[in-house]
Structure 1
Amino acid sequence: MTMLVMGHMNPDTDSIVAAIAYADLASKTGKPAKAVAQGAVTPESDFVLKKFGLAAPEIVKEVAGQKLALVDTTEKTQLPADLDKAEILAVVDHHKLGDVTTPNPLEMWVWPVGCTCTVLKSMYDFYGVEVPKGIAGAMLCAILSDTVMFKSVTCTPADKAACEALAKIAGVADMMALGMDMFKVKSAVDGTPMRDLVFRDYKDFDMAGHGVGIGQLEVVDGDILKPYVDGLYEEIKKLKQEKGHHTIILMLTDIMKEGSEMLFVSDDKNVFKKAFGVEAGERSFWLAGCMSRKKQVVPDFQAKAFA
């Protein structure tokens, strides 16, 4: 049976490209595999795939009876509802361990780096498999995206080294110019429905029994989003009601200012004082230097907000 390789719901570029890369590597090392996704690609991912001649993965939302490899997540809230009826054979990730469990041993590569594709570059090297040119270019973009062009606190020397190597394979002479082109696409919001913007990079979490949703919009200039803040706020209010969550946060990340306006709806805004040491306004607050949901928001919120 062909193994399906999938990332989290509302897939970002790392989730999409990591699935493509691991499916390629697994197939070349004797484990036939196919990249799939739980949703359509974002404009940024579409730009990356087209630039490097790759096809978007097939959308799959039910996995009962399938053999799976998971990339970029181990959180059940971010995976298909019938996950327990599938067999997980491998995990490749760069986040904290979630609540996925397996009855049998599995291949597992989980590293504290800025991007799953950084881990995958080392896996290609470990198995002695050459990274195809197109996949190398897409992996480069995924790392630049996840590390916000090396500005994020999640960025490590391993991420930068992987980018240097992947750029050579892909024939990219100026990776930062490529990154800016990608982030310009990511910053384009005109004509996009508010719900699509909220879900462009959104994840659900179970924190001490409380439902928490955290989305992120990264733009090169925060002023781009000012005309849309009211609409985004109304959309996260609807989303909170639909999901029954305690808190929904939408990070409006300004790449140039290196910080995030945290738009929120919550049952108790005192959780932000506990988690981040700041007094929240009626619907938002600014976190200077905050670029990463994974390292600067989720850990503090999970450890302190509901303590």
Structure 2
Amino acid sequence: MAVYAVGHKVPDSDSIVGAIALAHLKNQIGEDVIPSRLGEPSPETQFILDKFGYEAPLLKMSYAGDSLYIVDHSDVALAPDDVDQATLLGIVDHHKLGDLTSGTPLECWIRPVGCSNTVIKMMYDFHNVEIPKDIAGMMLCAILSDTVVFKSPTCTTADIRCVEVLAEIAGIEDYKALGMEMFEVKSAVLGTPMRDLVMRDFKNFNMNGNKIGIGQLEVLDLAIFDEMKPDLEAEIAKLRDEEGQHAVFLLLTDIMKEGSELLIIGDEALAEKAFGHTPVEGKIWLEGVLSRKKQVVPPLEKALA
């Protein structure tokens, strides 16, 4: 029976790098684990892979009959479609506990930190396994991405300390400059098909029986979206028609201004109840909101409770 490490659907840098880093760790302690992915790398993730000389993990959508380590999520909606036909060996995550279950005992490393790769760094320390230079560099980039170069409210002292140690291992002197270089890649959205942009970092959530879709695009200057917003709104409306969500939200996040504009398709009253602002033409500005995990999902879940 093959064993895989895999992140969530529509994988971000944390999911793909996390699968690579976790598989390497497991291989070093005597388990034969293959890193895999549930989708194509984003431009940012491809930048990270290219910079450190790594191929993207195996693209594999079906895991029936296999064994799995799940990375960067614990929700059925984000897992492989046939996860119930796989043997779950472990979960490594930094989100709230989701609805994945197992029929056998499993290993769980879940910590309230800014990135799954911070947790994986702790696992390397626990097992006293040395992190290769290239993997350390990728892990550092994943943490910088998830914590928005330490600006996100999800960032903890553990994330910062892990980046500092990983930078030493990887030989990176100015990791903040590297983080900004990554966000410049993220900000290069012109000419990209609308569906690709919407799905670049998109997740569906089950909130009290309601399917809620939330995407996020992080850029250095929100003005880049000025002429694109009508097309983005039309695309998330089309997505909702196709997938049947109760509502679809798209966060346009300005990491320099440290805030997000929320585009709303569906239940505008839900957004008003969750965030305390009345939508204007299907939009709300959310001052200080950078994190979907900590600042968007919880108020929506509370509003739907």
Into which bin does the TM-score normalised by the smaller protein fall? over 0.9
Give the Cα–Cα distance (whole angstroms) in 1 for the partners of residues 3 and 78 of structure 2: 19
Q: 5+ residue gaps in structure 2?
A: none
Quote the residue 1:99 is aligned against: 99
Q: Secondary structure at the match of 1:62?
A: coil
Give the Cα–Cα distance (whole angstroms) in 2 for the partners of residues 225 and 148 of structure 1: 19
Q: 5+ residue gaps in structure 1?
A: none
Give % identity. 53
Give deviations 1:226-283, integer Å, cap 9, x for gaps.
12111110000001111111110000000010000001101x3111122111111221
1:6 aligned onto 2:13: no
Counterpart code for 2:73? T
Give the Cα–Cα distance (whole angstroms) in 1 for the partners of residues 175 and 269 of structure 2: 42
1:71 aligned onto 2:79: no
Q: Structure 2-normalised TM-score?
A: 0.99
Q: Secondary structure at the match of 1:233?
A: helix
Give deviations 1:71-109, integer Å, cap 9, x for gaps.
001111111221100001011000011110001111100
Quote the residue 2:228 is aligned against: 228
Give the Cα–Cα distance (whole angstroms) in 2 for the partners of residues 226 and 32 of structure 1: 49
Quote the residue 1:240 is aligned against: 240
CA RMSD across the alignment: 0.7
Quote the residue 2:190 is aligned against: 190
1:177 aligned onto 2:177: yes
Quote the residue 1:296 is aligned against: 295
Give the Cα–Cα distance (whole angstroms) in 2 for the partners of residues 22 and 88 of structure 1: 15
Quote the residue 2:126 is aligned against: 126
Quote the residue 2:251 is aligned against: 251
Quote the residue 2:205 is aligned against: 205
Quote the residue 1:275 is aligned against: 274
Give the Cα–Cα distance (whole angstroms) in 2 for the partners of residues 81 and 117 of structure 1: 24
Q: Structure 1-normalised TM-score?
A: 0.98
Give the Cα–Cα distance (whole angstroms) in 1 for the partners of residues 2 and 85 of structure 2: 16
How far residue 190 of structure 1 moved from its aligned partner, in angstroms, is 1.6
Q: Secondary structure at the match of 1:68?
A: strand
Q: Bigger CA drift: 2-11 or 166-175? A: 2-11
Give the Cα–Cα distance (whole angstroms) in 2 for the partners of residues 223 and 288 of structure 1: 16
1:109 aligned onto 2:109: yes
Give the Cα–Cα distance (whole angstroms) in 2 for the partners of residues 225 and 170 of structure 1: 35
Give the Cα–Cα distance (whole angstroms) in 2 for the partners of residues 175 and 2 of structure 1: 36
Q: Secondary structure at the match of 2:239?
A: helix
How far residue 2 of structure 1 moved from its aligned partner, in angstroms, is 3.3
How far residue 120 of structure 1 moved from its aligned partner, in angstroms, is 0.5
Give the Cα–Cα distance (whole angstroms) in 2 for the partners of residues 20 and 220 of structure 1: 28
Q: Secondary structure at the match of 1:8?
A: strand
Counterpart code for 1:100? L
Give deviations 1:211-234, integer Å, cap 9, x for gaps.
100000000111112121111100
